[in-house]
Amino acid sequence: MSPIVMASLTEQAGKLLDFNQKLDINLLDNIVGCMYTGEGQTQRTAQEVLTTLKEHPDAWTRVDTILEFSSNQQTKYYALQILETVIKTRWKVLPREQCEGIKKYIVGLIIKTSSDAETSEKEKVYLGKLNMILVQILKYEWPRNWPSFIGDIVGASKTNESLCQNNMIILKLLSEEVFDFSSGQMTQAKAKHLKDSMCSEFSAIFQLCQFVMDNSQNAPLVGSTIDTLLRFLNWIPLGYIFETKLITTLIYKFLNVPMFRNVTLKCLTEIAGVQVTQYDEQFVQLFTLTMAQLKQMLPVTTNIRDAYRHGQDDEQKFIQNLSMFLCTFLKEHGQLIEKKGDLNESLMEALHYLILISEVEETEIFKICLEYWNTLSADLYRENPLSSNVNPLLIATHFEPKLSEMPVRRSMYIPVLSKVRRVMISRMAKPEEVLVVENEQGEVVREFMKDTDSINMYKNMRETLVYLTHLDYTDTENIMTEKLHNQVNGTEWSWKNLNTLCWAIGSISGAMHEEDEKRFLVTVIKDLLGLCEQKRGKDNKAIIASNIMYVVGQYPRFLRAHWKFLKTVVNKLFEFMHETHDGVQDMACDTFIKISQKCRRHFIQVQVGEVMPFIEEILNSITSIICDLNHQQVHTFYEAVGLMIGAQTDQTAQEHLIEKYMTLPNQVWDSIIKQATQDVEILKDPDAVKQLGNILKTNVRACKALGHPYVIQLGRIYLDMLNVYKVMSENISSAIATNGENVTKQPLIRSMRTVKKETLKLISGWVSRSTEPQMVSENFIPPLLEAVLLDYQRNVPHAREPEVLSTMATIVNKLESNITSDVPKIFDAVFECTLEMINKDFEEFPEHRTNFFLLLQAVNTHCFPAFLNIQPQQFKLVLDSIIWAFKHTMRNVADTGLHILYAMLQNIAQAETAAQSFYQTYYTDVLQHIFSVVTDSSHTAGLTMHASILAYMLSILEANKIAVPLSPNHTTDTNIQFVQEFLFNLLKAAFPHLNDQQINMFIKGLFSFNQDIPSFKEHLRDFLVQIREFAGEDNSDLFLEDRETAIQQALEEKRKIQLAVPGIFGPHEIPEEMQD
């Protein structure tokens, strides 16, 4: 667009913003057109004009003109956005007659647009926006200023079907706003008032729905009505559901009509989920009638898996909704149906449907069924935990339990559970995900994923299969053995089938008696080894090999009991370490470390028939075992061997083993150090630097496995290692000084940084595992501080390692008061220079940022006296940095900042003399900063900590712990009054739209709730809603933290219950002390 046109656009826009002129509709339509179809600068200018107009306080006065005269849908939509903003943010400050005017106008528009079916279909988006605006108005006006609303809308609906259909949509939106989304959008008192109003006037709405369902022939209207009813079902008084003909109408009239069956089934599911006992008869009726209709729609003989695969979208949704209905009903009311003998057949049919649906190849549907099978098998197990597997003393005779001894409920489900076992075994999910990723140093590393969807699925399936095994281990074993034979004889052979079967076998470790487990495993391993011999081709052999390793790794109890077998397995793993087929070496190393974690003691004892402990054999042939492994695999191997050596309790024997174990890496290390002593330039040679990095990584893993005893190896390389650190650091700094920051991306510089990082990692790893704090602080800390601190301070920011800060934090956390005297030295070196890196913004240097505050937190917790001994200006820096921390949008940093502040306030209160000058200087500042984050919408996740800190600060004030006047114009005994005035002025300035009474009520509440944190938090939250109602912001995040806490608590409860069931946690999730 030419500059002339651009200029005229800007000039014309001026006319739009001049509210003394008549509005030029064509001009507005053109600008909206530019906004939607223009490009580049034109579009940006148009957008700026429209935004400016929208933000003009009088813009809403033009909405009626725009809606009446504009012929452009987009312009009309824009006008409605202006109106919506006014309603959300300024409704309470508009004069009453203007509110009434807007209300009448919107209602008129809705009636006009929706009375004609054709118009309402054509202007669907516009009408949807109008409906939303009406609901926003209702949240303010109804019931107080518009008591007749429900009556009006119901009355109007009876006059016109198209209008009625739109009114249903309005009622549905209102229900969602009040019942589903109200938490945090409005104050608790207001939400309760609206819910009560809605319930008390519901009969009129219900009669309308019933009337439409009984009489209307208009399909879209009936669809809308059932859809609206669906939203009501989770809150309406239960009489409307169970004491009317609602259930029978839904089932007889709509369930078998294709266009209504999905929404009807959703309604029935919602009803099935109601948890009450006084309507048992109606629930039985709901079940029997639905099952009868279902059998006509979907005969019991249908192959649902195929039907789903070839079905239309609508039919697939029906199967998903059916799974929801059956699972919900059986979970809530299954026991009711079980008790009625005449319904046994229907119950079995329902379960039969569920088994067929469980075979559908769609993960979301399978998850729904899985949750039910999990609940059912857990319930049946808990009713009678040990009865499935007979008294262990009778095991030898393989005595089968008689049916008469089995609980009645369990025997009823026997045929069903056997089919469920087949489904679980043939669909078993993958146990762990391993990702190959590149780290910051440009090295390719493997990462184990902790919670992906497939891992969660595996956990749920595993848990279910463990319960099912407890209920009848013979059946589980028979199915698995049969499927394994089918692999061997080729009828079911495929990689996928073999994998799922072996994952399933591995998943029930611990769920059988030891004797049964032994018999079963011997068969499994024999078959798998046979399969390996029989199949040709490297790919086949590799898949079978990795499955053998997986299964063996899952049964440490068996390995511990059978040394010969354990030794054979480990030797087999050493063979696999030379097999270059993709993935086999990784699998071998992973299995080796799993086994050495669980069986470590067996490797350091001399076993029957052996001349020496197996660990000696491993150390003797270590060179030949690892010769084909890559660096990462070698590190894993070293950690595994270290775990074995760590189990040796005799110190002399252990030291001898460690020396032998580290011989290989020490030879390479010594030769590089020797060369460097003659010519330091060798430390710039890429290969030498890479080798040093790898040797340090090996040491890190050895240290991780050995813990404190690693000290004998650390002492051997410590001073050389610190010297290498200094040299690397100088090399990096001079490279950056000469060539700029980009040089850090070069491979050689990256390798040098790896050496520095691994050195710090090794030291902090050992310190955190060490057991003699005094020895550490006297011998290891002085040379470390001397090498690392000055170097950190001198370096350019981009060459400073964030690990320096985390290492210091580890040292303070571990050595506690032993290190207090060194804290000033540490602070001098790292504090100000790091603060300068991170106080420009909230984003740069994220790792330094996190670690800096972790160090601060450690000092505050363990060495607080050090803070009292530093200079006042340095203390002010510390406090400023804490305030800076909790203002971060990085949540981990903000949380750390709040925790430091809370702990610091409590520490200071203990130090009598220092406390008073602290209060006098900083008390009101801290209050003000905390309020600034409380009222900032990006910080709502910290609400509990905000509440705890504020409550603590106000309660020390009330308890007269502050013995100095907080303001020059006040005396000590008027401190409370001063703080109340201070808060009043602070809030009044920040939120001028609040009236004095609201602010005073809020401040009064702060003082009355400060001993009760939950109420204090609710009080803060209601205040935030009041602020935002004017500001027109979204409130949904106010409950974020509560939801997170609730989820966490539920998980912990669940874990406690699960620990009691053998096999529910896999062998590698059980704490060491519970192993044997």
With a cut of 50, say whether residue 401 has pLDDT above it: no
Q: What's the whole-model pTM score?
A: 0.79
Single-letter amino acid, residue 864: F
Number of C-beta neighbours around residue 120 at 10 A: 20
For a pLDDT cut of 70, what percent of the chain falls above it?
93
3-state secondary structure 176-207: HHHHHCCECCECHHHHHHHHHHHHHCHHHHHH
397: Cβ contacts below 8 Å, ≥ 6 apart: none
Please give the average per-residue pLDDT across 364-384, as a whole number. 95
Instruction: Answer whether residue 372 shows pLDDT above 90.
Output: yes
Q: Is the pLDDT of residue 1034 over 80?
A: no
Three-class DSSP category at 299 = coil
What pLDDT was estimated at residue 393? 39
pLDDT value for 1071:
67
User: Which whole-number Å values give the CA distances from 407 to 452, 581, 1039, in the listed order?
Assistant: 38, 51, 45
**Better-predicted residue by pLDDT, 1015 or 434:** 1015
Give percent of the chain above pLDDT 90. 61
C-beta of residue 591 within 8 angstroms of C-beta of residue 549: yes
The rounded distance, in Å, linking the Cα atoms of 501 and 483 is 8
Sign, CA dihedral 865-871-877-880, equals: positive
101 against 656, higher pLDDT: 656
Does residue 1043 have a pLDDT over 60? no
What is the separation of C-alpha 898 from the centre of its chain, rounded to a whole number of angstroms?
A: 22
Residue 872 and residue 917 in contact, taking contact as beta carbons nearer than 8 Å: no
pLDDT above 60: residue 529: yes
Bridge partner residues of 186 (DSSP): 183
pLDDT band at 17 (very low <50, low <70, confident <90, very high): confident
pLDDT at residue 435 in the model = 65
Q: Is 388's pLDDT higher than 50?
A: no
Predicted confidence at residue 395, as pLDDT, reads 40
Model pLDDT, residue 1050: 62
Per-residue model confidence (pLDDT) at position 1032 = 42
pLDDT on residue 1075: 54
CA distance 85 to 971: 47
What's the pLDDT band for 396 if we cut at 50, 70, 90? very low
pLDDT in tens, 716-745: 999 999 999 999 999 999 998 899 888 988
CA distances from 655 to 607, 662, 764 (A): 21, 11, 22
Q: Worst-scoring range by mean pLDDT, 95-99, 791-795, 1044-1048?
A: 1044-1048
Bridge partners (DSSP) of residue 448 are 434
Taking the C-alpha atoms of residue 858 and residue 819, their distance in angstroms, rounded to an integer, is: 11
Stretch 250-260: mean pLDDT: 95
Say if residue 864's pLDDT is above 60: yes
Q: How confident is the model at residue 184 (pLDDT cuts 50, 70, 90)?
A: low
Does the pLDDT value for residue 594 go beyond 60?
A: yes
Q: What angle do CA 286, 287, 291 make, to 5 degrees?
A: 115
Average pLDDT over residues 966-995: 89
What pLDDT sits at residue 182? 67
Helix axes 495-507, 473-488, angle to 10 degrees: 150
**Higher per-residue confidence, 985 vs 1022:** 985
Kindly indicate the confidence band of residue 386, based on its pLDDT and cuts at 50, 70 and 90: low
Local confidence band at 1033 (pLDDT 50, 70, 90 cut-offs): very low
Q: Which of 58-72, 138-152, 746-760 has the highest mean pLDDT?
A: 746-760
- pLDDT given at position 123: 87
DSSP 537-603: SHHHHHHHHHHHHHHHHT-HHHHHH-HHHHHHHHHHHHHHTT--STTHHHHHHHHHHHHHHHHHHHH
**What pLDDT score was predicted for residue 9?**
67
Asked whether the beta carbons of 646 and 705 are under 8 A apart, the reply is yes
d(CA 498, CA 877): 63
What was the pLDDT predicted at 316? 96
Q: What's residue 1039's pLDDT?
A: 52
| pLDDT for residue 1076 | 45
Q: What is the pLDDT of residue 747?
A: 93
Q: Which amino acid is at 800?
A: R
58 has pLDDT over 50? yes
Asked if 639 contacts 629 with a C-beta cutoff of 8 angstroms, the reply is: no
The better pLDDT of the pair 974, 289 is held by: 289
- Label residue 50 by pLDDT band (50, 70, 90): confident
pLDDT of residue 992: 85
In the predicted structure, residue 73 carries a pLDDT above the cut 90: no
Residue predicted with more confidence, 12 or 300: 300
Could you tell me how many residues make up the chain? 1076
Q: What pLDDT score was predicted for residue 256?
A: 92
Average pLDDT over residues 14-31: 83
Compute the average pLDDT of residues 932-950. Answer: 90
Are the beta carbons of 222 and 213 closer than 8 angstroms? yes
Return the axis-axis angle of helices 872-886 and 846-862, rounded to nearest 10°.
120
Per-residue model confidence (pLDDT) at position 448: 76
Indicate if the alpha-carbon torsion angle 240, 242, 244, 245 is positive or negative.
positive
The answer to whether 165 and 224 have CB atoms below 8 angstroms apart is yes
Query: Cis bond leading into 143, ω under 30°?
Result: yes
Q: Per-residue pLDDT averaged across 640-662, rounded?
A: 97
- 740 torsion bin: left (phi>0), alpha (psi -120 to 50), beta (else): left
Q: Specify burial of residue 549 (Cβ count, 10 A radius: 0-12, 13-18, 19+).
A: buried
Instruction: Quote the CA–CA distance of 316 and 309 in Å, as a whole number.
Output: 8
- In DSSP notation, 841-893 reads -SSSSHHHHHHHHHHHHHHHHH-HHHHHTS-HHHHHHHHHHHHHHHT-SSHHH
Q: What are the tens digits of pLDDT across the range 603-623?
A: 999 999 899 999 999 999 999
Q: Which of 215-219, 233-237, 448-452, 992-996 comes out lowest in average pLDDT?
A: 448-452
CA-closest candidate to residue 459, choices 447, 449, 471: 449
Mean pLDDT across the chain: 89
